[in-house]
Amino acid sequence: MTRADEKRRAVMDARRVKRSAARFYAVQALFQMEASDVGIARIEEEFETHRIGVATETETSAEADRPYFRRLIETAVDRQAAIDQMTDRALVAKWPISRIDPTLRALFRAAGAEMLAAQTPARVIITEFLSIAQAFFPEGREAKFVNAVLDHMAHEARASEF
């Protein structure tokens, strides 16, 4: 591998890490918007000013692809009805999206936004959001549930990929 190849790989790896962080922050932001009934502009400002890449005495928050973060939450808000309907179709009839855990609801909205708007392959989106589910629910069965719902959503939103 040449030095140029190594540099290109390092840049791609850094970009991938920042995109992953953007997805994680998007889930948090969407959760906070719902829980506190705060608008998108205020949430974007709060996250970009006080959370993303911020260093405290005890830790430094991960840096994120900020434009990607904004695009995810803006798409999730703008297309929430369509994303929620797609999620509802993936859930069993007795568990509409309004009855599921608000963290999972935020996760499905962020993932749905990416499925509807981004160029990222569906399998990558599923893998990324499955990792986020495992971070939020490390000991639960939620990851299997998230995998099943996201798989169903991906087959609907990105049928040509399957």
Contact 150, 126 (CB under 8 A): yes
How many percent of the chain have pLDDT more than 70?
96
Residues 6+ apart with CB under 8 A from 114: 23, 72, 75, 120, 125
Q: Residue 127: which CATH number?
A: 1.10.940.10
90-140: pLDDT as tens digits: 987 667 777 889 999 999 999 999 999 878 999 999 999 999 999 999 887
> 60 pairs with which residues across the strands?
55
Range of the domain at 130: 3-161
H or E element that contains 102: helix 102-117
Number of domains in the chain: 1
pTM above 0.85, yes or no: yes
